[in-house]
Amino acid sequence: MNERSKGEVTAEKIMRAAQEGFAQNGYAATGVAEICASAGVSKGAFYYHFESKQSLFMALVEAWLGELEGSLAQVAEGVQPVPERLLAMSRLMTGLFSSDVVQISIFFEFWMQAGRDAAVHAAVIAPYYHFQRFFAELLQRGIDEGSLSAIDPVLGAQGIISLASGLLLQRLLDPEGADWGRLLESSMQLLLEGLRKVES
């Protein structure tokens, strides 16, 4: 009935514990022993499933990116005009990111490590470009359909990504400082206002 083997369950327990640890105290400050204790698993089990602490981190990165990619694909399709579509996406992100500060924290942990570790960087840069291209194409479509003014779509895409990640960053510093989910939506609206084609 249950298709997941015992080993897979253990590996998942380790990954969950590691994610929490890395998010809470950072990669370097989180020991393997601590992860094991938190997962209720021995060190032997850890090194049975993962080659090293580093490779565990990579597994986390890849799992997270895969998840993100999936939820992006969900909203990739649509027939509404581009501005409405972007707003809908930001509303969706609201739900995805308002979940837990820990989730956000690990995301930036990945980002920071990418600047230091070549392997992490290689794993992160490709999806990043993918995202950039995704938004740029969306904007281009908006320009083509006449709902957006003719700015450089890549520039606009980088602006959108900036806005989203910057808000996440502020939320990290001051979780109670604002309704960050709602804020993402309204500042996206603001940016769109700047992008929107003036009726002539």
- C-alpha distances in Å from residue 198, one per residue of 7, 67, 151: 59, 37, 13
Tell me which stretch binds a second copy (CB under 8 A): 32-40, 55-63, 109-117, 136-144: 109-117
Q: Residue 23 interacts with DNA (CB under 7 A)?
A: no
Sequence-distant contacts of 64-69: CB under 8 A, at least 24 apart: 64/106, 64/107, 64/110, 65/123, 65/124, 65/127, 68/127, 69/127, 69/130
Task: Name which of 17, 90, 112, 115 is nearest 60 in CA terms.
Answer: 17
The DSSP output letter for 75 is: H
From the list a second copy, DNA, none, partner contacted by residue 146 (C-beta under 5 to 8 A by kind): none
Q: How far is the CB of 78 from a second copy (least distance, A)?
A: 23
Integer Rg of the chain from CA: 20
State in Å, rounded, how far the first CA of the chain is from the last one: 63
Q: Residue 45 interacts with DNA (CB under 7 A)?
A: yes
Select 5 or 99, whichever has its Cβ closest to DNA.
5
Tell which one of 124, 136, 138, 139 touches a second copy (CB under 8 A). Answer: 124
Q: How many CA atoms lie within 13 A of 144 on its CB side?
A: 6
Binding string to DNA for residues 49 to 68, with x set by CB under 7 A, is what?
Answer: x--xxx--------------
Q: Residue 63 interacts with a second copy (CB under 8 A)?
A: no
Q: How far is the CB of 28 from a second copy (least distance, A)?
A: 3
Q: Residue 133 interacts with DNA (CB under 7 A)?
A: no
Q: Residue 101 interacts with DNA (CB under 7 A)?
A: no
Tell me which stretch binds DNA (CB under 7 A): 28-36, 118-126, 136-144, 172-180: 28-36
Tell which one of 5, 70, 173, 176 touches DNA (CB under 7 A). Answer: 5
Residue 80 neighbours by CB distance under 10 Å: 11
Q: Residue 38 interacts with DNA (CB under 7 A)?
A: no
- For residue 5, how far is the Cα from the chain centroid? 28
Q: Residue 176 interacts with a second copy (CB under 8 A)?
A: no
Residues in the site for DNA, rule: CB under 7 A? 5-7, 9-11, 30-34, 41-45, 47-49, 52-54
